[in-house]
Amino acid sequence: MKLWGGRFRSGPSEVFERFSRSLDFDRRLIDADIRGSQAFARALERAGILSGPEREKIVSAFDAISTDAASPSFFDGATDEDVHTLVIRKLKERAGAVADKIHTGRSRNEQVSLDTRLWLREECDRMRSGLGAVMRVLVRLAEKYPDAVIPGYTHLRRAQAVLWPHYLLAYFEMFERDCERFNAAKLNADASPLGSGALAGSGFDLDREAIAEDLGFRSITRNSMDVAGDRDFALDFLYACTLTMIHLSRLAEDWILYSSEEFGWLELGDGVTSGSSLMPQKKNPDSLELIRGKSGRVTGCLTSLLVTMKGLPMTYNRDMQEDKVPLFEAADQTAGSLEMARVVIESVKLDRARPAAAAAESWVVATDLAEALARRGTPFHQAHQIVGRFVLESVQNNKKPADWTAEEMRQFAPEFTSEMVPLLDPKKGIESREIPGGTGPESVRAALAQAREVVDRLPK
């Protein structure tokens, strides 16, 4: 069955039919398509196009189709152009001639927009629940080692000491922003396009507000041409997926490093690592590498649709059918990566001694010393110079911070006073950073308590 054909002398070539068919992937929208079509049948009744019994017949036929569609064999042998065509064919098979009225004043251009919006609203919730689960296990891991000290890095060089929970809560922030982005993506999709027609608005007196209410939309779209040519809502969703994946990828990269022999801080669970077919000693972080790898794939999905949309003339063009594969792909890869990340985070053990030693053996205390000098009146630029020379001297003589005595320090620079000596321990410097958002123990405790409240408020 086709939804067009009268104007043609011959049918489409087999090659074109195969090439243009989207049923293989857009079948995923079948629930949304049926729900939308049921609401549209009710709208047609209100507009006087369908009688009450006709509407009833159509709606209950759709219910039956919906049940049938749950069985895997439902799509067997189907060669319809797309899911919208298949659904109408099925309706005709079940409800007979009345099915010919369902498409009155409706276009597939608005239908595909509607279906995608309905699908996407639910996907945004799925992503938020995956993010929530990751946030929950991050908080748990932070609470497990509340006062562990690690070196924080810039340029992958040891920079300043921070508390382990402070580091983890940085990712918590990213994931919380991701949740908000999915929320925003959902809101952006949450407008009903039905009544827009192909591009010019429906020629029938449809109550658009009532359709929107029927389908639980917050509002109706405002311009029919915009609707036909718009995939902004899909791009918003893809961007939210991409940024989530970028955050996961950076966490993955950190932990691939931190669990390496070179760092040795983290032990990943056996359940999320794999061995080598050749080298018996290997325990490889494949789960994290795959998350990092999939971030490239999802970024590709965003890029793919951006490039597809670029330069399309108003309004609908068939190019836009190419939105679905990247959308579904990004949703599945992101949901899968969130799930994998949750399991990795649950599996991980921190060897507190290793990062603490890495901090103590390096010069992460240099800034603390310079700031202490500045607090005692040495202008910061000079304090920076003094400590810089102090570090150079230490490096040349292979001295760690703990190797210095108060007396030696004073000899090196009279500005060093005895109350600065404890700052050779990275923990002390951490204590000087009691500022909102900083790594001071009190600030971190408060931030962690707040994060705990956030995750406890999330739906389970």
- Please report, for residues 127, 134, 208, 343, 449, the alpha-carbon distance to residue 456 in angstroms, rounded to integers and kept in the order given: 18, 13, 39, 19, 10
Q: Phi and psi (nearest 5°) for 162?
A: -140, 165
The smaller minimum CB distance to ligand ARG, of residues 160 and 308, is found at 308
| Cβ–Cβ < 8 Å for 90, 34 | no
Let me know the angle formed at the C-alpha of 236 by 234 and 237, rounded to the nearest 5 degrees: 65
Binding piece for ligand ARG, criterion CB under 6 A, among 36-44, 46-54, 90-98, 312-320 = 312-320
276 is catalytic: yes
- Using CB under 6 A, pick the residue from 44, 49, 139, 320 that binds ligand ARG: 320
112 scored as a contact of ligand ARG (CB under 6 A)? yes
Distance from first CA to last CA of the chain, Å, rounded? 45
Residue pair 231/223 in contact by the 8 Å Cβ criterion:
no
**For this structure, is 166 an active site residue?**
no
For ligand ARG, the binding residue among 66, 183, 321, 432 (CB under 6 A) is 321
Q: What is the DSSP letter of 216?
A: T
Closest to ligand ARG by CB, 108 vs 208, is 108
In sequence order, what E strands does 164-233 have? Answer: 191-192, 219-220
C-beta of 322 vs 431, nearer to ligand ARG? 322
Q: Are strands 266-267 and 149-154 parallel, antiparallel or unpaired?
A: unpaired
Report yes or no: 248 and 304 within 8 Å, Cβ to Cβ: no
Binds ligand ARG (CB under 6 A): choice among 90, 108, 231, 247: 108
Vertex 241: Cα angle to 236 and 246 (nearest 5): 125
Q: Tell which one of 7, 157, 222, 318 touches ligand ARG (CB under 6 A).
A: 318
Which one of 13, 71, 73, 155 is the catalytic residue?
Answer: 155
In whole angstroms, how close is the CB of 108 to ligand ARG at the nearest point? 4
Amino acid 34 reads: I
Nearest distance from C-beta of residue 25 to ligand ARG, angstroms: 9
Alpha carbon dihedral 148, 345, 291, 310, in 10-degree steps, equals -80
Q: Which is nearer to ligand ARG, 280 or 311 (CB)?
A: 311
Q: Per CB under 6 A, which of residues 75..104 are in contact with ligand ARG? A: 82
User: Nearest approach, Cβ of 84 to ligand ARG (angstroms)?
Assistant: 6
Which residues between 22 and 61 bind ligand ARG (CB under 6 A)? Answer: 22, 26
Q: Which residues are catalytic?
A: 155, 276
Site residues for ligand ARG per CB under 6 A: 22, 26, 82, 108-109, 112, 316, 318, 320-321
